[in-house]
Amino acid sequence: MSSLPLSLGILPDDAEVLSLDQAANRLRVSPNRVRTLIRDHNLLAASRAGEPVIPALFFGDDGGLAKHFEGLVTILLDGGYTRDEALAWFFETHDDLGLCPAEALHSHSAREVIRRAQAQAF
């Protein structure tokens, strides 16, 4: 598991997370597929107590990834953000929105978050 690109010390302590097995169940794929998504930077993961975890906010109500999540990750990484910076960005509260981008993915503010990512990343 050490070959997985995991962010350390970035994820808020109170962020709800899923293990790789739980994420695989939600996505209806194998745990190896989840590892591939992480390695290919289509999914961001962190380390908690030495174990890989994925923030629950990255998932939609239907069990798949939140609607604009993958596109936002691509925008940020292509725009020069590191994996760690992208993960931190998802959990930085924007005062004018009153929530962080990971939460905004589940609200009417999702398109505004996409616009901000595009503006910040380039």
What is the maximal distance between C-alpha atoms in the chain? 39
Task: Say whether pLDDT at 2 is over 80.
Answer: no
pTM score of the predicted model: 0.90
**Distances, alpha carbon 69 to alpha carbons 3, 87, 105, in Å:** 23, 11, 7
User: Which percentage of the chain shows pLDDT scores above 70?
Assistant: 97
Torsion of CA 32, 3, 78, 44, to 10 degrees: 60
Task: Say whether pLDDT at 118 is over 60.
Answer: yes
Taking only the tens place, the pLDDT of each residue in 14-70 is 999 999 999 999 999 999 999 999 999 999 999 998 899 999 999 998 889 999 999
**Structural contact between residues 10 and 87, judged by C-beta atoms closer than 8 angstroms:** yes
- 71/77 Cα distance (integer angstroms): 10
